[in-house]
Structure 1
Amino acid sequence: MKKLILVIALTLSSLTFAQNKKTQEMTPEQQAELQTKKMTLDLDLNSNQQKEVKTIFLEQAKKKQALRAEMKAKKESGEKASSDERYKKEIEVLDNQIEMKAKMKKVLSPEQMKKWETKQDERREKIAKSKRKVLNKQE
């Protein structure tokens, strides 16, 4: 169960900008607002893009909140996920990533999209690196 939570958490974090614990305690609306502001600074978004991106981030934040609540309930009940359940969750997370990327392509210019993808790749690398450190410490 811990590995499933780790995989889902790492995958979801690649969908959004790096968040600290304070951000996780915020409402989905607050998270979406912060992510939009950060993205505006990084990519110089215009006002229409800001509105559309905020809508996308709000939807993602609400999905993450629901997933977190579901995972917390399962953990508290001591329920362990079967391999089929883990597979379905991972597929769901990947589908969400694909959907997010498609939506962002509609909103961002080609240059902005390239820069956004580069930043996403950097975040994935950072997460993978920290995951390797954690795994090395456990051994």
Structure 2
Amino acid sequence: MKKLLVIAIALFTLNGIAQERKQDRKGKQNRSELRKQMTPSEIADLRAKKMTLHLDLTDAQQKKVHQVYLNQAKANEGLRKNHNAKDGEKREKPSKDEMVKMQNLRLDQQIEMKREMKSILTAEQYAKFEKMKPRKHKKRGKRGEKNDKKRGGRR
């Protein structure tokens, strides 16, 4: 009888944990939907304010950074509208040439962004800006390393 009670408690606990994870995923989906509904101006405001908090920007720097982010958000919105499928149409995967073109455009935007930030920020602020890169790629790499070690060092 005690074993049955312990098993029942364990199952209820695991069931509760699994349901919480599903709710977290819904939260991420809702966030991405909210981001899609944001205007370029709102995106630029948020990014400029985050940058101000991290780098202690002056008011003049903040206005310039806001303008850079606003231009970038408007360009991205235009690209997104062109890329999204019209109502009722099925979205097709881009061809190899289109993919190369999109990647070149994205890299050109990043290069231009770096140049503009370098002209706006001080040397110390720019060094901090360079370290603020997204961490997603680092985490993904670390996860892969752990799995490789478990599998016997795949390379």
Q: What TM-score does the superposition give when structure 1 sets the normalisation length?
A: 0.71
Counterpart of 1:108?
A: 121
Greater C-alpha radius of gyration: 2
Unaligned runs of 5+ in 1: 1-19
Higher helix fraction: Structure 1 or Structure 2?
1
2:70 maps to a residue whose letter is L
- Once the two structures are superposed, what CA deviation does each residue of 1:68-127 show, in whole Å capped at 9, x if it has no partner? 11221279443332111110110010000000000000000000000011011xx1x314
Larger RCO, structures 1/2 (Cα 8 Å, 6+ apart)? 1
Counterpart of 1:126?
A: 136
Does 1:62 find its partner at 2:80?
no
Return the alpha-carbon distance in structure 1 between the equivalents of residues 35 and 139 of structure 2: 22
Question: Once superposed, what is the RMSD of the aligned Cα atoms?
Answer: 2.5
Unaligned runs of 5+ in 2: 1-30, 148-155
Residues 62 and 127 of structure 1: CA distance in aligned 2, closer, same or farther (over 3 Å): farther
Where 1:49 maps in the other structure, the secondary structure is: helix
| Identity level (%) | 44
Aligned pair count?
112
Counterpart of 2:55?
A: 43
Counterpart of 1:10?
A: none
2:107 maps to a residue whose letter is L
Return the alpha-carbon distance in structure 2 between the equivalents of residues 131 and 24 of structure 1: 28
Does 1:33 find its partner at 2:24?
no
- Once the two structures are superposed, what CA deviation does each residue of 1:21-76 show, in whole Å capped at 9, x if it has no partner? 23332100011011111110100000110110000000011111112112212794
